[in-house]
Amino acid sequence: MIVSSYTDAMTLEELKDDWPSVKRQASKFGKKLMAKMPKSKIGLDPDKTLGLANKFRSKNSNLWHINVYCNEGAKTFWSVTYVEIERENGLKSYIYLRGMRTPHQYYVEIVPHTIRRLRERYINIDYTQYFADSEVREILDLAVFNRHECGI
């Protein structure tokens, strides 16, 4: 379990240790989403995005959020995965692992202040009210984290 006293290297090693099981879970959730997809292409809107969100506790006791999405009628899906950690002050931070297909992996931590600022100052004015009322998961998926194409 990632704790506040971990160094950056320790946090990265634990995230990399969790990654294979998270990748398998995301693939499993993606296949479940694809099974719900209508078989007929008639009347489907390819711009409509369908999603499935779930939480997964890894062998290291880290709580991962796994969100899979696909466009209606598509044959592939993408996923957004991040781990939720609780800091010593009781606030939650979110960590997103990056660069798993490269030799230089790293992670990005989103602290509560960032989420509050996204709600206050989101660039697109049309989404201001939406972001004021939305869940943290939606903010992270839409505004912050990149998707892993084709089911990771």
Per-residue pLDDT of the chain (152 residues; tens, 9 = 90+): 998 889 999 999 999 999 999 999 999 999 999 998 877 777 788 888 888 989 999 999 999 999 898 888 888 898 889 999 988 888 888 999 988 888 899 999 988 888 777 767 665 555 555 555 556 777 677 666 666 544 43
- The predicted pLDDT at position 150 comes to 43
CB 12 within 8 A of CB 19: no
- The predicted pLDDT at position 107 comes to 93
What distance in Å separates the CA atoms of residue 116 and residue 32, rounded to the nearest whole number?
33
CB 90 within 8 A of CB 70: no
* Domain edges within the chain: 8-144
What lies within 8 Å, CB to CB, of 27 at 6+ separation is: 151, 152
Give which of 37, 41, 14, 12 is closest to 99, Cα–Cα. Answer: 12
Global pTM reads 0.80
- The predicted pLDDT at position 135 comes to 66
CB 93 within 8 A of CB 111: yes
- The predicted pLDDT at position 124 comes to 55
